[in-house]
Amino acid sequence: MASFPPRVNEKEIVRARTIGELLAPAAPFDKKCGGETWTVAFAPDGSYFAWSQGYRIVKLVPWSQCLKNFLLHGSKNVTNSSSLKLTRQDSNGGQKNKPREHIIDCGDIVWSLAFGSSVPEKQSRCVNIEWHRFRFGQDQLLLATGLNNGRIKIWDVYTGKLLLNLVDHVEVVRDLTFAPDGSLILVSASRDKTLRVWDLKDDGNMMKVLRGHQNWVYSCAFSPDSSMLCSVGASKAVFLWNMDKYTMIRKLEGHHHDVVACDFSPDGALLATASYDTRVYIWDPHNGDILMEFGHLFPPPTPIFAGGANDRWVRGVSFSHDGLHVASLADDKMVRFWRIGEDCPVQVAPLSNGLCCAFSTDGSVLAAGTQDGSVYFWATPREVPSLQHLCRMSIRRVMPTQEVQKLPVPSKVLEFLSYVFRRKTPFPGRA
Amino acid sequence: MHVKVISSDGHELILEREHMQIIRNNKAMLSGPGQFAENEIKESNFRELLPHMLRKVCMYFTYKVHYTSDSTDITKFLIAPETALELLMAANFQDCLKEIIASC
């Protein structure tokens, strides 16, 4: 079974440039499972990189130091403290302010990670704020970790200390995400078929339970304006929630198997979802239309084959910050970089047993975690965006598709603004 | 070598010639016959563009020239939503003119 469309010569696709690797130390001899990197994350200000290294450990490394190490030591870098200390300057004055590496033992297998930072203007939604134990200051950077037993632990990134322990889920907390508006609202997605909304400025009070999934919830993502949340899960589920009223807006139908990852574009106009049915779909979240399909198996599988074990599950998807590129990880041992508008990847790189991916805060690097606890990094394909695309992103950040359709502009411009790409043949498997 | 661009109400901006070479629909004007003396300014009319739009278009061309040659750390180019729609139409207009001239 081919990984690319028949018209494409696989050898002509450009290989993405490797930046570096963080290899896990050898597994403890008595542990056969539990060593996976289920999640990787970058801090919103680009200062830290975190990954769940397996065996209950989360590693936090200062990102700029990590990049410097890759350049100095070549691309391989085994993660132990001594190699990082070699390049750290030993000046007493500057030591306190420099970000430090932390290794956190979370007490249970870590399935999800999310960074959050507060913006002082955002008030807690709770009225009584005098009796709060925690005052989140201007400088606070938090790391939320979702564990195997359903607990969520909140850590302070700069000191490595445990701040809060959120207990409510009864099953694995598979994904965590903070609202991008700095309000420290945290959403957790769990195998107990629910999502929970927590207000960390209110001592971690659980505000709402989102019910609707019939099966495991795999992932969740906020839209950039924090108004919508997408949650995806087993049994083909893709749901969109209104995060002002906590109601379900719509269900997006089209996948044939479990949907395991989702991400919004930076202007909120596009939603990417990855599924075990070998496909990544790019949706318009405002009206539920499928705009693009990124296939990983050719010829595309029929619905029955797509709905089962087809050896080509897509495990992760992530939108880059320029709103033009998408990265996907699939079980055919490849990372693919796609460009919006083209149905064939623009760059690829080999990766075995990839489980999760995330773009760095400045969008220049993609990190991917694997089953043995290691993380690999590649340079993102960069291009200068066209003036039209920059205008489109600026408009779409503030305007949903329904309003765009009412603009007094020619239909070609409307199509462009709505990210509509004309296809000659309909999507396979759809009527 | 500099070029002067003039907008719809007579506002003038002065740019480096290399940056203007991206504006292909005026290529004929810029790469005219003969040699020009150093510092000589040639004029180029963009009478269909308002001054704030022309400023933004020129800023974009400067941004594009800079990062085309050095694409390691491309920074964000911010456009206010109020001007974005007009700018989109202007950018499309430029492209149409470019195609018309190329096909002539």
Kindly provide the ipTM of the predicted complex, given to two decimals: 0.74
How far apart CA A323 and CA A18 sit, in angstroms, is 22
Residue in this structure with the two tokens 């992760």, named with its chain if needed: A316
CATH number corresponding to A10-25+32-78+98-386: 2.130.10.10
Q: Cβ B88–A391 below 8 Å, yes or no?
A: yes
Chain A residue with minimum CA distance to B59: A387
Check residues B52 and A428 and name the one with the higher pLDDT: B52
Give the pTM: 0.83
What's at B77, amino acid-wise?
Answer: F
| Residue B62, φ and ψ in degrees, nearest 5 | -65, -45
Q: What is the three-class DSSP state of A104?
A: strand
In sequence order, what DSSP letters do the residues of A264-281 get, joined into one string?
A: E-TTSS-EEEEETTSEEE
Report the pLDDT value the prediction gives residue A195, as an integer from 0 to 100.
Answer: 95
Q: Cβ B77–A382 below 8 Å, yes or no?
A: no
On the question of a cis peptide bond just before residue A28, with omega within 30 degrees of 0, the verdict is: no
What tens digit of pLDDT does each residue of A124-150 get?
444 444 444 555 555 678 999 999 999
Taking CA A320 as the corner, what is the angle to CA A295 and CA B85, rounded to the nearest 5 degrees? Answer: 105
Closest CA–CA distance from residue A321 to any residue of chain B (Å): 9
Residues A291 and A270 sit within 8 Å (Cβ to Cβ)? yes
Res A416 pLDDT > 50: yes
Closest CA–CA distance from residue B37 to any residue of chain A (Å): 33
pLDDT-above-90 percentage for chain A:
52
What's at B1, amino acid-wise?
Answer: M
State the average pLDDT for chain A. 85
What tens digit of pLDDT does each residue of A5-63 get?
888 888 888 888 888 888 877 666 666 667 788 889 988 888 899 998 877 889 899 99
Among A362, A384, A397, select the one facing B64 at the smallest CB separation: A384
**C-alpha R_g of chain B:** 14
Closest CA–CA distance from residue B9 to any residue of chain A (Å): 23
B/e letters for B43-57, b = 16+ CB within 10 Å, e = fewer, are ebebeebbbebbebb
Most confidently predicted of A253-267, A303-317, A363-377: A253-267
Report the pLDDT value the prediction gives residue B37, as an integer from 0 to 100.
Answer: 43
Report the pLDDT value the prediction gives residue A88, as an integer from 0 to 100.
Answer: 36
Mutual angle of helices B51-69 and B81-103, in 10-degree steps: 70
| Average pLDDT estimate for B14-26 | 53
Among A384, A392, A398, select the one facing B74 at the smallest CB separation: A384
Q: State how far the alpha carbon of A35 is from the alpha carbons of A148, A200, A260, A372, in Å.
A: 13, 29, 20, 6
Report the pLDDT value the prediction gives residue B99, as an integer from 0 to 100.
Answer: 65
Report the pLDDT value the prediction gives residue B77, as an integer from 0 to 100.
Answer: 87
A362 touching B (Cβ < 8 Å): yes
Strand partners, A244: none
**What is the strand order of the sheet B2-6 is part of?**
B12-16, B2-6, B41-45
Residues B92 and A413 sit within 8 Å (Cβ to Cβ)? yes
| Average pLDDT estimate for A377-402 | 92
Cβ contacts of B101 within 8 Å, gap of 6 or more? B24, B25, B27, B28
Q: Residues for chain A: how many in total?
A: 431
Chain B residue with minimum CA distance to A396: B81
pLDDT-above-70 percentage for chain A:
85
Q: Cβ A394–B84 below 8 Å, yes or no?
A: yes
> B-chain residues within 8 Å CB-CB of A386?
91
How far apart CA A144 and CA A164 sit, in angstroms, is 9
